[in-house]
Structure 1
Amino acid sequence: MPTHTSAWVARSDSLALETITYADLAADEVLIDIAAASVCHSDVRAAQGVFHMKPPLILGHEGSGYVRAIGSAVDYVKVGDAVILAFTSCGECRRCRVGREAYCDRMFELNFTGRREDGVQPVRDWRGEVVNGLFFGQSSMSRVALVRERSCVKVGGDVGREELRLFASLGCGVQTGAGAILNIAKPSEGSCIAIFGGGAVGLSAIMAARSSKPALLLLVDNSKTKLDMIPKKLLEGVQILNSADLSHDDLVAKLKSLTPDNRGMDFALDCVGHEAVTNAAYESLDKLGMVLTIGGSATARPRFATERNLVNGLTIRGTHQGDSVPRQMIPQLIERWRGGDFPFDLLLTQFKFEELQKAIDEMHEGRVIKPLLVT
């Protein structure tokens, strides 16, 4: 039978909680009773019409909840399982077969078209008109979400609803920041690491990097309001640099001056996506250093000098989702959290499910780092 529920629908001129209807489950789909959905800047961009999937669409790509029903071909989860939701992938292409799911050959088709394998869009609004769903394979800002099976990550062990709500935030931004460190940079002890951007992605990278015992772990941001808001526990062992009043040259010089012998950074992570940030990160590198671009921007055009790359052996590397395989990365982050090494819950501020606009406003105004909508 079709499923009726309420979901946050972004349209070209509005963002509202609307009644929507899902068609019967396809073979590879799952219905999830949502416990929580966290808010990512990609949701805001999608609502504004400047992301891959366009309105009208159901937002949400970081969620958690309990399995209500499964399609005929689903065998990874069963009814009643607690799950966390992440991006989806095909599981069969050349990338997925070697653990590179974040670069699935069908990434766009499966995450950003709102269509099933047969081309059908399974979501209708109260007027019977099509609404895009399956955003990142899930569209989790819905009281009941219709998701692709491969978006599901089972939670092992004894997990209560309160913990499961927290885990909703692990599906995208947190695993992206942490994965950039754990899966790509893999810094050795004594490395110099600069993280640009004090949002959820950057702070997740900070938490992951701290365990490598760096000689220097630096957080760079140009907003005093944002820096003052960060819980002090997350900044233990971290140097802070407010770059608001620094020119490009002064910023680069300051970055290098903080490293031994002014040699520069081993790793510089741009979690902002602004070309000025990427340029400064690049120019701050030591020999054999790496810039990781994580923040997204369709207009950024950073400058890189081929000769400098050649002589110094530099690496310029982008990453999607921190190169994470969700069914491996998310349980790893939960284990680190339980062990006290990854306190991502300090990033979160809970809001009622009905308070999405309030959550977005407070995020934009710098009063919260990562909003969590709870049902």
Structure 2
Amino acid sequence: MPTSTEAYVARGGNSLKLEKVTYADLDGNEVLVDIVASSVCHSDVKAAGGSFHMRPPLIIGHEAAGYVKAVGPTATYVKPGDAVILAFASCENCRRCNSGKSPYCENMFGLNFTGKRSGGGEGVVVVCEGEEEVKGLFFGQSSMSRIALVRESCCVKVECARDELVLFASLGCGIETGAGAILNVAKPAVGSSIAVFGGGAVGLSAILAAKLTSPACLVLVDNSQTKLDMIPKELLEGVHIVNSTNKSPEDVAAELKKLTPSGAGMDFAMDGVGNEIVLLTAHLSLDKLGTALIVGGSPNAKQQTKIENHLVNGLTTRGMHQGDSVPRVMLPHLIQLWRAGKFPFDKLLTVFKFEELHEALDEMHQGKLIKPLLVV
């Protein structure tokens, strides 16, 4: 039977509200999940405003957790009652997925940004108040809803108490991306110098991960003192802070180099913003054989670095999706680190009721919080 619930529907512009929606019957390996919490990522904001790959009208949400309510006829990984965290969707069958590189799944766009069912043809029928069809399956899940219809490949099974599952809802995109940039991609040697640009959830997750690698120098760079002052002090122990406001890329890079033991520059510089000037600054701050990590995204940003600098200094520029994280491997690892007291991602979260999305967004835009978590 079709399933009715409430979900946050974006219709373009500033139109984003909680509406009644009805899903079609489950097909293939689709899964219904009773959501316990959903966190907010900037990609949700972009999609709601019509400036992302998937356009309104659609149900937003791609960081969530809950309990499996029902499964489609070909689902094999989960069963009703399983606790799951939701991440991006992948086909699980292409050469990238089969080689442990699911963030680069050859079917990534179709599974995450078209709203179409895996068998092709019609999308998931989501009928709202007024009988207007909207798109679902945003990032394979559209999970800012009380009940979400998701692709099974989005599901990561976990064993935990409900209060823990609420916190784990925040792990499926931004946090795993920041942590993955360090742990999966950079893999810095002990004693490395690391700079992270951007004090949001992605950047701070990278900072937490970098602390685990025993760096000689770890720096957080941001241009908002309000944001820097908001970050819990315990997360910044042992971290140098650089406010880049009104400073040129050259000046910021020089300041960063002075903080390193050799004075020659950073081994790794991560752009968690997706800004041309930030990426240029990151490159300028590198030591010879250093690596610039591109995590943040912007559709029109271009790289402004000089080829000569790459050649003479042996620099590497490494883009990535989801921090090269395979969710069913990465998320349990982050949970294990959290339980050991080594990855306190919960300090990044501010809890709201599920009905308080607009209050959460207002505080996020005002720079009053790092990552909102909507609890159902």
- Which category describes the TM-score, using the shorter chain as reference length? over 0.9
Separation in structure 1 between the aligned mates of residue 150 and residue 213 of structure 2, nearest angstrom: 36
**What TM-score, normalized to structure 2?**
0.98
Cα drift, residue 305 of structure 1: 1.8
Indicate the SS of the match to 1:142.
Answer: coil
Cα drift, residue 124 of structure 1: 1.7
Which residue in 2 is equivalent to 1:6? Answer: 6
Cα drift, residue 257 of structure 1: 1.1
Separation in structure 1 between the aligned mates of residue 94 and residue 131 of structure 2, nearest angstrom: 35
1:146 aligns with 2:141: no
Which residue in 2 is equivalent to 1:255? Answer: 256
* Structure 2 counterpart of 1:8, one-letter code: Y
Which residue in 2 is equivalent to 1:119? Answer: 121
Q: In 1, are the aligned partners of 2:250 and 2:284 still within 8 Å (CA)?
A: no
Indicate the SS of the match to 1:272.
Answer: coil
- Residues 261-280 of structure 1 aligned to structure 2 (within 5 Å): 261-280=262-281
Which residue in 1 is equivalent to 2:137? Answer: 134
Separation in structure 1 between the aligned mates of residue 192 and residue 55 of structure 2, nearest angstrom: 42
Cα drift, residue 302 of structure 1: 2.1
- Residues 264-343 of structure 1 aligned to structure 2 (within 5 Å): 264-343=265-344
* Structure 2 counterpart of 1:76, one-letter code: Y
Cα drift, residue 337 of structure 1: 0.1
1:225-263: CA deviation from partner (whole Å, max 9, x where unpaired): 000000011101111111113222211111111112321
Indicate the SS of the match to 2:180.
Answer: helix
Cα drift, residue 327 of structure 1: 0.2
* Structure 2 counterpart of 1:193, one-letter code: I
Which residue in 1 is equivalent to 2:92? Answer: 91
Indicate the SS of the match to 2:364.
Answer: helix
Q: In 2, are the aligned partners of 1:84 and 1:153 still within 8 Å (CA)?
A: yes
Which residue in 2 is equivalent to 1:38? Answer: 39
Separation in structure 2 between the aligned mates of residue 90 and residue 124 of structure 1, nearest angstrom: 26
Q: In 1, are the aligned partners of 2:37 and 2:64 still within 8 Å (CA)?
A: yes
CA RMSD between the two structures = 0.8
* Structure 2 counterpart of 1:78, one-letter code: K
1:276-328: CA deviation from partner (whole Å, max 9, x where unpaired): 00000001111110000111101111212222212211110111100000000
Cα drift, residue 147 of structure 1: 0.2
Q: Which segment is superposed worse, 259-268 or 216-225? A: 259-268
Cα drift, residue 191 of structure 1: 0.2
Separation in structure 2 between the aligned mates of residue 279 and residue 327 of structure 1, nearest angstrom: 34
Cα drift, residue 148 of structure 1: 0.2
Indicate the SS of the match to 1:53.
Answer: coil
Which residue in 2 is equivalent to 1:66? Answer: 67
Cα drift, residue 120 of structure 1: 1.4
* Structure 2 counterpart of 1:143, one-letter code: R
Separation in structure 1 between the aligned mates of residue 247 and residue 312 of structure 2, nearest angstrom: 28
* Structure 2 counterpart of 1:83, one-letter code: V
Cα drift, residue 85 of structure 1: 0.1
Separation in structure 2 between the aligned mates of residue 166 and residue 146 of structure 1, nearest angstrom: 21
1:136-187: CA deviation from partner (whole Å, max 9, x where unpaired): 000000100000000000003xx11111010000000000000000000000
* Structure 2 counterpart of 1:274, one-letter code: N
Separation in structure 2 between the aligned mates of residue 79 and residue 216 of structure 1, nearest angstrom: 47
Q: In 2, are the aligned partners of 1:5 and 1:142 still within 8 Å (CA)?
A: yes
Separation in structure 1 between the aligned mates of residue 312 and residue 282 of structure 2, nearest angstrom: 18
Runs of 4+ in 1 over 6 A off after TM superposition: none
**What TM-score, normalized to structure 1?**
0.98
Q: In 1, are the aligned partners of 2:249 and 2:284 still within 8 Å (CA)?
A: no
- Residues 227-242 of structure 1 aligned to structure 2 (within 5 Å): 227-242=228-243
Which residue in 2 is equivalent to 1:77? Answer: 78
Q: In 2, are the aligned partners of 1:85 and 1:153 still within 8 Å (CA)?
A: yes
Indicate the SS of the match to 1:145.
Answer: strand
1:86-125: CA deviation from partner (whole Å, max 9, x where unpaired): 0000011111110110011110000000110232122221
- Give identity over the alignment, percent: 65
Which residue in 2 is equivalent to 1:203? Answer: 204
Separation in structure 2 between the aligned mates of residue 261 and residue 93 of structure 1, nearest angstrom: 45
Separation in structure 1 between the aligned mates of residue 313 and residue 100 of structure 2, nearest angstrom: 30
1:328-354: CA deviation from partner (whole Å, max 9, x where unpaired): 000000000000000000000011101
Task: Identify unmatched segments of 5+ residues in structure 2.
Answer: none
Indicate the SS of the match to 2:262.
Answer: helix
